[in-house]
């Protein structure tokens, strides 16, 4: 089993919709995660960190559920520009990435 797993999608949603992605992890000792965003043929860039208390940044909310061993990313009021691949990252010295979830927002 991979250490970090994601549904590859694609998630196709209309503008203005709310969409959520989950990422499951296998190591119960994991405490720190990131969400990265990657546009087509570009390098990944940090979207936000994931704290145990939850983290909100504008339309984006990230949460960590230790009991069920998953992290989530919620995007409200989706924009066309949110179309990208979202990567879940387990923050260890090795930085382990999930395979990514593709989001496509349509008009």
Partner 1 sequence: DAGITQSPRHKVTETGTPVTLRCHQTENHRYMYWYRQDPGHGLRLIHYSYGVKDTDKGEVSDGYSVSRSKTEDFLLTLESATSSQTSVYFCAIRVGSADTEAFFGQGTRLTVV
For the bound state, the minimum distance from the C-beta of residue 85 to partner 1, rounded and expressed in Å, comes to: 9
For the bound state, the minimum distance from the C-beta of residue 11 to partner 1, rounded and expressed in Å, comes to: 16
Distance CA 72, CA 22 (A): 4
Given the rule CB under 8 A, which residues bind partner 1? 6, 8, 32, 34, 42-46, 49, 87, 91, 93-100
Identify which of residues 4 and 19 has a Cβ nearer to partner 1 in the complex: 4
For the bound state, the minimum distance from the C-beta of residue 8 to partner 1, rounded and expressed in Å, comes to: 8
Q: Find residue 48's DSSP bridge partners.
A: 35
Question: What number of CA atoms fall less than 13 Å from residue 68's CA on the CB side?
Answer: 9
Q: Tokens for 9, please give them.
A: 């999608």
Identify which of residues 17 and 38 has a Cβ nearer to partner 1 in the complex: 38
Find the helix or strand (DSSP H, E) in which 23 lies. strand 19-25
Identify which of residues 82 and 98 has a Cβ nearer to partner 1 in the complex: 98
Query: Cβ distance 83 to 90 under 8 Å?
Result: no
């Amino acid at each position: 089993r991979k250490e970090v797993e994601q549904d590859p999608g694609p998630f196709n949603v209309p503008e203005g919709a709310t969409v959520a992605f989950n990422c499951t992890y296998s190591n119960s000792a994991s405490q720190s995660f990131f969400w990265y965003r990657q546009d087509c043929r570009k390098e990944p860039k940090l979207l936000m960190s994931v704290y145990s208390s939850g983290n909100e940044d504008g339309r984006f909310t990230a949460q960590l559920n230790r009991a069920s061993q998953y992290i989530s990313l919620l995007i409200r009021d989706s924009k066309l520009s949110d179309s990208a691949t979202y990567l879940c990252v387990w923050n260890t010295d090795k930085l382990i990435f999930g395979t990514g979830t593709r989001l496509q927002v349509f008009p």
